[in-house]
């Protein structure tokens, strides 16, 4: 079997091995693949693995040998699944490999706002504490999370993990979810979306990106949020109207926005959110802990192995 990885660098910049895939066939790994190079690189492939390199209907139809596409992520919108189904191409994804890591990132962002450890570390390195007259000092608002309300949009595996951590911090937890109240974890209150935005001290987005959730956090809902509230987005960039969020931050209505994802990735240097001092941003790395990427690599190989054995798993096509 000929196996081609179109964009391996994102998940494996060199600290993991591809041995599990090599055991399944002849493997060619490309760090990145431009759209114009896909057909040439995948021409002899029986199986293609992709993370963000798009495989649209025209591309799939131009690869008659292709029988399997493994998406190296949970989201699989980079593949035209309907076309793959029509062509008899099996498409799989990698579910739930980064749940703990993304939940951890949500709270890394939140604590960056409430405790500002990096800010004080840099100030101490610059001599601020050493030159001060007092045994301690601070120049930012420091906030205790206990007793605050965490509003979670989407109570899947990651949202549920965030809820557990929030409760461990002593926070109240409300959730907007399709699940009935009886099926929610103890202490989590189901709430309509507008009420959740209006009453939460922190709103954290963990729902999938669909036409219904595109710009879910729009200008109207951002205006509903409590003055000084915090918005966290570790889901997908277009869940938020970035322009509206930049305006809410510039006006001082929100204390902070914490984003690990942007509308366009990588963002343009002129992106309005990057210029906002109240926006804490990381480059879509919540999923990228070594532990999560090891799981991703293992599941990717197991997905392909199961397909070879005519017993495919994690199929999305």
pLDDT digit string (tens) for the chain, length 317 residues: 999 999 999 999 999 999 999 999 999 999 999 999 999 999 999 999 999 999 999 999 999 999 999 999 998 989 999 999 999 999 999 999 999 999 999 999 999 999 999 999 999 999 999 999 999 999 999 999 999 999 999 999 999 999 999 999 999 999 999 999 999 999 999 999 999 999 999 999 999 999 999 999 999 999 999 999 999 999 999 999 999 999 999 999 999 999 999 999 999 999 989 999 999 999 999 999 999 999 999 999 999 999 999 999 999 99
Phi-psi region of 125 (alpha: psi -120 to 50; beta: other; left: phi over 0): alpha
The DSSP-derived string for 90-135 is EEE--TTSSHHHHHHHHHHHHHHHHT-HHHHHHHHHTTTTTT-SSS
Expressed as residue numbers, the domain containing 163 is 99-281
* 67 domain residue, yes or no: yes
Question: Phi, psi (5° rounding) for residue 106?
Answer: -55, -40
Closest to 4 measured CA to CA, from 70, 93, 60, 54: 70
Q: Residue 244's pLDDT is what?
A: 97
Closest to 152 measured CA to CA, from 242, 247, 216: 216
Q: Supply 296's token pair.
A: 């991703």
* 314 domain residue, yes or no: no
Q: Supply 94's token pair.
A: 């990698």
**Residue 68: helix, strand or coil by DSSP?**
strand
Residue 93: CB partners within 8 Å, gap ≥ 6?
71, 73, 74, 75, 76, 314, 316
- Is 128 annotated in the active site? no
* 315 domain residue, yes or no: no
Closest to 247 measured CA to CA, from 213, 205, 276: 276
- Do residues 55 and 191 share a domain? no
- Do residues 207 and 254 share a domain? yes
| Domain count along the chain | 2
What span, in angstroms and rounded, lies between the C-alpha atoms of 226 and 130? 37
- Do residues 34 and 69 share a domain? yes
**Residue 184: helix, strand or coil by DSSP?**
coil
- Do residues 105 and 84 share a domain? no
- Do residues 109 and 176 share a domain? yes
- Do residues 23 and 65 share a domain? yes
Q: What is the CATH number of the domain that holds 164?
A: 3.40.50.720
* 316 domain residue, yes or no: no
What span, in angstroms and rounded, lies between the C-alpha atoms of 237 and 243? 12
Choose, from 116, 206, 236, 293, the residue flagged as catalytic.
Answer: 236
- Is 284 annotated in the active site? yes
- Is 109 annotated in the active site? no
* 16 domain residue, yes or no: yes
- Do residues 112 and 216 share a domain? yes
- Do residues 10 and 132 share a domain? no
- Do residues 190 and 110 share a domain? yes
- Do residues 178 and 222 share a domain? yes
Choose, from 149, 284, 293, 295, the residue flagged as catalytic.
Answer: 284
Q: Residue 281's pLDDT is what?
A: 97
- Do residues 144 and 239 share a domain? yes
Q: Residue 261's pLDDT is what?
A: 97
Q: Residue 56's pLDDT is what?
A: 98
pTM, rounded to two decimals = 0.93
Choose, from 118, 144, 195, 265, the residue flagged as catalytic.
Answer: 265
* 22 domain residue, yes or no: yes
- Do residues 12 and 104 share a domain? no
Torsion of CA 72, 74, 78, 84, to 10 degrees: 90
């Amino acid at each position: 079997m000929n196996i081609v990885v179109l964009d391996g660098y994102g998940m494996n910049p060199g600290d993991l091995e591809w041995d599990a895939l090599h055991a399944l066939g002849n493997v060619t790994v490309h760090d990145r693949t431009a759209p114009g190079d896909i057909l040439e690189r995948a021409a002899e492939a029986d199986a293609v693995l992709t993370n963000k390199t798009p495989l649209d209907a025209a591309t799939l139809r131009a690869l008659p040998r292709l029988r399997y596409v493994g998406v190296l992520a949970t989201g699989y919108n980079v593949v035209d699944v309907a076309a793959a189904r029509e062509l008899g191409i099996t498409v799989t994804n990698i579910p739930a490999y980064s749940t703990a890591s993304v939940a951890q990132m949500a709270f890394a962002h939140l604590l960056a706002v409430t405790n500002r450890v990096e800010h004080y570390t840099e100030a101490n390195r610059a001599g601020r504490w050493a030159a001060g007259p007092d045994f301690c000092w601070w120049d930012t608002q420091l906030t205790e999370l206990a007793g605050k309300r965490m509003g979670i949009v989407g109570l899947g595996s990651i949202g549920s993990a965030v809820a557990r951590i929030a409760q461990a911090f002593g926070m109240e937890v409300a959730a907007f979810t399709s699940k009935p109240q009886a099926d929610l974890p103890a202490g989590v209150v189901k709430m309509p979306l507008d009420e959740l935005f209006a009453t939460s001290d922190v709103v954290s987005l963990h729902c999938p990106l669909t036409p219904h959730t595109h710009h879910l956090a729009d200008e109207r809902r951002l205006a509903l949020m409590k003055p000084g509230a915090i918005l966290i987005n570790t889901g997908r960039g277009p869940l938020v109207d970035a322009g509206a969020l930049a305006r809410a931050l510039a006006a001082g209505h929100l204390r902070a926005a914490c984003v690990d994802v942007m509308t366009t990735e990588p963002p343009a240097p002129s992106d309005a959110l990057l210029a906002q001092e109240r926006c804490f941003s990381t480059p879509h790395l919540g999923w990228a802990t070594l532990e999560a990427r090891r799981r991703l690599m293992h599941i990717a190989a197991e997905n392909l192995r199961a397909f070879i054995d005519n017993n495919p798993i994690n199929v999305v096509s």
